[in-house]
Amino acid sequence: MNTLIDLCKDIHHAKNICPKFCGLCSLVDGNWSGWTTWGTCDVTCSNGTRIRTRICSNPAPQNSGLDCQGQNTDQKSCFKDVCPTQGGWSTWSDWSTCSATCDVGISRRERSCSNPYPSKFGDHCFGLNVDDRLCMPGQCADGGWTSWETWGVCSVTCGLGIRSRARWCRNPEPSPYGRDCQGVPQEVETCHDRNCKTMTDCYDIINYDRMATSGIYDIITWKTHSPISVYCDMTTDGGRWTVFQYRFNGSEDFFRNFSDYENGFGKLDGEFWLGLMYIQELADQGDTELRVDLEAANGDKAYETLVHFSLSARPPYTLHVGSVIKSQGSRFLILYEKKKQQQRQKVMTM
């Protein structure tokens, strides 16, 4: 039969017909052991499951024997007390309208512990149920200046000084997020008392203070009452000289246009030109002497002093000068101006 129908190939039929012929006498099919006891419930609350197990070992399958038929696990329902429900937050609400219409306010949104509500001793939601944020619809007011107050008193009772006036950014005051006022809260200007003794040149200064030394001084021009600074030479030939040109090392560019020569340029503590408009006014105050000093690179010096120095009214500021009254060395014409001793003023250049 094995030759005809290949009987031994079908092991599980052959073992019941001719196990010895097919060599199946040692075949053993598996069989279940007994069930274990039921396990504990897999939950601590609400409904759960208990499980028991068995194994295919009574006997275990051998030599191509069949495995045990059926499931190796068995389960049944178990019942516990109802579980507590833990609270859960709902979604946030929309932001509320800002509490202020300008500058800074507060906007709020809310949520509730209702997704789900806690029950059966479940925990409440953790965290806050409200959320606040700053909101700024816009500035309430930008700052505005008050009117300028009147000018304060001059800092000196005689001569050149300063005075100031103020205004305040409170018309209106800027709100917390408004723009501050643009500009300066204080202005300062020069002032002088024309009713007191005004220094109009270096001659006035040394008459007012016999101990005055050479240096820079502030004066008020006698005709236009312009406050200017001048360099006074208080030592050369009796002093009282107002210097209107000084060149010594080439640090200042004297190749200038007419406007520069009319208004002046340079620094009084270095090389400078005082300015034709001021020289003309100083020389026009009375009979004026001009002194010109020159020093060569090798140290040789020369000077000339001329009388009746003046400039015609501007422009073109035509030069007028009289005869030489003092000289030493070669004749030079470097602007250096001085009034006669009996007059009020001296003007000079170095």
pLDDT tens digits along 55-102: 999 999 888 788 898 899 999 999 888 888 889 999 999 999 999 988
Instruction: Tell which of 195, 211, 233 closes a domain.
Output: 195
Residue 223 lies in a domain: yes
Residue 47 lies in a domain: no
Range of the domain at 148: 142-195
Q: How many domains, the chain?
A: 2
216 and 318 part of one domain: yes
pTM more than 0.75: no
CA distances from 133 to 96, 128, 137, 138, 212 (A): 10, 14, 13, 16, 71
Q: Say which CATH number the domain at 277 has.
A: 3.90.215.10
182 and 221 part of one domain: no
Instruction: Look at the chain and count its residues.
Output: 350
E strands of the chain, at which residues? 47-53, 73-79, 103-110, 130-138, 159-166, 186-193, 215-220, 227-233, 241-243, 245-246, 265-266, 272-273, 288-295, 301-306, 310-311, 319-320, 324-328, 337-339
217 and 174 part of one domain: no
Distance CA 5, CA 32 (A): 33
Residue 288 lies in a domain: yes
Alpha carbons within 13 angstroms on the beta-carbon side of residue 314 total: 14
Residue 108 lies in a domain: no
pLDDT tens across 206-246, in order? 877 778 889 999 888 888 888 999 999 999 988 889 999 99
CB 282 within 8 A of CB 332: no
Q: Say which CATH number the domain at 191 has.
A: 2.20.100.10
335 and 255 part of one domain: yes
Structure tokens at 27: 């075949």
Residue 37 lies in a domain: no
206 and 334 part of one domain: yes
Instruction: Tell which of 152, 179, 195 closes a domain.
Output: 195
